[in-house]
Amino acid sequence: MILKLITQISRILVGALFIFSGFVKLVDPIGSEYKFQEYFSESVLNMEFLIPYALLFAIVLIVAEILLGVMILIGYKSKFTVWSLLIITTIFLFLTWYSAYYNKVTDCGCFGDAIKLTPWETFYKNVILIGLIIILLVKVTFIKPLFKGKITKVITFLSLASFLFIVQHVLTHLPLIDFRAYAVGKNLQEGMVYPADGSIPPVHDFMLEGVQQDLAPILLEKEKVMLVIIYNLDKSDANGFPAIKEASEKAIAKGYTVYGVSASFSDDLLVAQEKYNLPFDFLFCDETTLKTMIRANPGVIILNKGTVTQKKNWIDIEDLEL
């Protein structure tokens, strides 16, 4: 009786953790793509040939993670589910140990941008998780389906379809939930204030460098500012530039200060500016910062005295309220 109770508690804890971990990444798969790119980089695993497939890896992991969480809770294919959970957790136990021991990746991204853990905190979390999964593996016969007949199968496949739909929607538009310091409603000046413990503030490396000076302090005091984010011109969607041009012209006509912001070379940006007849100049900002600001390339951020009031992927730019 006690063993059965322990197994069911472990089942609930493991399922809930996998669902939560998968969900916070499901709403922002691009963030997981960036994390995979970091792991595959030369300085970490030195597997740069896998970087082009980082988004695919991210989607497969996210969907598998949250789906396995659902499956263990409803009791669908218990043996397959528990073994899959053990394999995935073991892989990431090694990765988090490697990151922690060699100080390679400061944040594993296991909870996306919702909760930040140090590498060692993540490693010990995975150790505990492995222990819970081993309990499930030993007493897998106690894991029974919650529903009779084919209901658990139907729930599993409906869940899979729902998760894939969410991924497609988020990749087309923007994250459903934004956990970052540049989310709508956040004030960037407040985000630059150092916490009492002296740790790095959530908004750092935010500089909008012009020819002669950093314009960030000036722009953060203005009421109407539109920033067109093109973190990498070579990787940007060229289909978005006509819509960007039209929206920026409307913004300028309504008194907005409009700048493009990119980490690309200035000569390339001048060519793009002329090619698409863009009515704004470009400022430079770190690529990682721009990727953190918005999951779009190109995308638009509207600021009012440093507060983010709107964010749009170029495909939704007609919905901007100017």
Please state, rounded to an integer, the average pLDDT across all residues of the chain: 92
Rounded Cα gap, residues 10 and 18, in angstroms = 12
- Residue 10's pLDDT band, with cuts at 50, 70 and 90, is very high
Q: What angle do CA 183, 169, 164 make, to 5 degrees?
A: 120
Specify the residue for token string 């528990």. Answer: 82
Residue 106 has pLDDT above 80, yes or no: no
- Residue 321's pLDDT band, with cuts at 50, 70 and 90, is very high
pLDDT confidence of residue 98: 85
Phi-psi region of 46 (alpha: psi -120 to 50; beta: other; left: phi over 0): left
* Mean per-residue pLDDT, 17-46: 91
Which has more confidence, 278 or 120? 278
pLDDT per residue as tens digits for the range 231-289: 999 999 999 999 999 999 999 999 999 999 999 998 999 999 999 999 999 999 999 99
Q: How far is CA 22 from CA 133, 214, 272, in A?
A: 17, 39, 38
- Both tokens of 108, joined, read 């594993």
**Sheet containing 307-313: order of strands:** 282-284, 257-262, 225-230, 299-304, 307-313
Q: pTM of the full predicted structure?
A: 0.90
Q: Name the DSSP class of 226.
A: E
pLDDT per residue as tens digits for the range 156-183: 999 999 999 999 999 999 999 999 999 9
The helix (run of H) or strand (run of E) holding residue 309 is strand 307-313
Residue 112 has pLDDT above 70, yes or no: no
Q: What angle do CA 38, 21, 98 make, to 5 degrees?
A: 40
Phi-psi region of 118 (alpha: psi -120 to 50; beta: other; left: phi over 0): beta
pLDDT per residue as tens digits for the range 183-209: 999 999 999 999 888 788 999 889 999
* Mean per-residue pLDDT, 1-30: 93
Residue 107 has pLDDT above 80, yes or no: no
Comparing CA positions, the residue from 24, 44, 25 lying closest to residue 33 is 25
Rounded Cα gap, residues 154 and 147, in angstroms = 11
